Amino acid sequence: MSLRTLTLADLTIRDERAFRHIGLYDTLKRMLIADGVCFRVPTAGSPHASWSRALFLNLTFWNASDPSDVLVDESIDADVIAHVAWHHAARKILLSAGSGSVSADALFLGESIASAFDLYLVGRTLGRGADGDFLETQVPAMAEVAESQGVSQDDFETLLSSVAADPERAFEDLRALLFDVTTALAHCVDVDGATAVLERFAGHRFAPLLHHYEISNWILYSRAYADSALDHDPAVRAIDRALREAPVSLDWLEKHWLPA
């Protein structure tokens, strides 16, 4: 077999010390271990043992009903654990029981939560003045996307400072933006419609970061695999409203989605 199936307990975790002060990280990690969530890992010397090949397999063949992230080797970054865990939590809550079907709304909600939590981790680690591989890769990647959207270095640093000052608010602001933009773009049929949607959200503080999150893949995946009969999913929209109305949306998610 070119790809082995391993659990988190079989893997070496990189950069975990940067998140030891974040209680939610430990909760997410324990959930993955308890639920036996699996990862696919290439054998030594396999042509699949490269970042480019793993990225291709993950972006192109990820399955919402049976996700199994492909890794380069028997190690995983701590931030990836959190990202995978939110996808797993969303799958348990949002996947239609027994049918294996999923709505576009559900896909976008799960993706928006997992991606916004990445920004939350940036804020929490920056706020403590921590360093590590996570910040060394995430911040420059975000800065590059923001610069391409016309954001100056000073303005980007101001944006990061606001995230560090209130990571919980940053999480919900980005989550709501990602959900609103992708659910709107999914209904666009041409370039003019898509540009109109993007222009509608141009004033949002996190709008310059939208393309950091590869939202084109979300939309293409939803068009290929989402259940068109659930085009507007009332259950998902109710969760979205609850998150917007909650004093701290991450507290709501921890209470309703994660094990005690």
Q: Following DSSP, what letter does each residue of 216-229 receive, concatenated?
A: HHHHHHHHHHS-GG
The CA distance from 175 to 247, in Å, is: 15
**What are residue 70's DSSP bridge partners?**
40
Can you read off the two tokens belonging to residue 110? Answer: 């799960």
DSSP 109: H
What is the separation of C-alpha 256 from the centre of its chain, rounded to a whole number of angstroms? 18
- Stretch 92-118: mean pLDDT, rounded? 84
- Stretch 59-67: mean pLDDT, rounded? 75
The CA distance from 147 to 250, in Å, is: 29
Can you read off the two tokens belonging to residue 69? Answer: 């992230």
The CA distance from 25 to 79, in Å, is: 9
Whole-number pLDDT of residue 188:
93
Helix 167-185 vs helix 234-245: angle between axes, to the nearest 10 degrees? 150
pLDDT band at 62 (very low <50, low <70, confident <90, very high): confident
Instruction: Name the average pLDDT for the chain.
Output: 91
pLDDT band at 96 (very low <50, low <70, confident <90, very high): low
Whole-number pLDDT of residue 156:
97
Whole-number pLDDT of residue 97:
46
DSSP letters, 130-158, are --SHHHHHHHHHHHHHHHHTT--HHHHHH
**What are residue 91's DSSP bridge partners?**
none
pLDDT band at 45 (very low <50, low <70, confident <90, very high): confident
Per DSSP, which regions of the chain are E strands?
A: 3-7, 12-14, 38-42, 75-77
Helix 191-200 vs helix 167-185: angle between axes, to the nearest 10 degrees? 160
Whole-number pLDDT of residue 98:
45
The CA distance from 117 to 125, in Å, is: 12
pLDDT band at 47 (very low <50, low <70, confident <90, very high): confident
Q: Is residue 38 helix, strand or coil?
A: strand
Whole-number pLDDT of residue 102:
84
Convert the pLDDT of each residue in 198-213 to its tens digit.
Answer: 999 999 999 999 999 9
Within 10 angstroms of residue 51's Cβ, the number of other Cβ atoms is: 9
- Amino acid type, 150: G
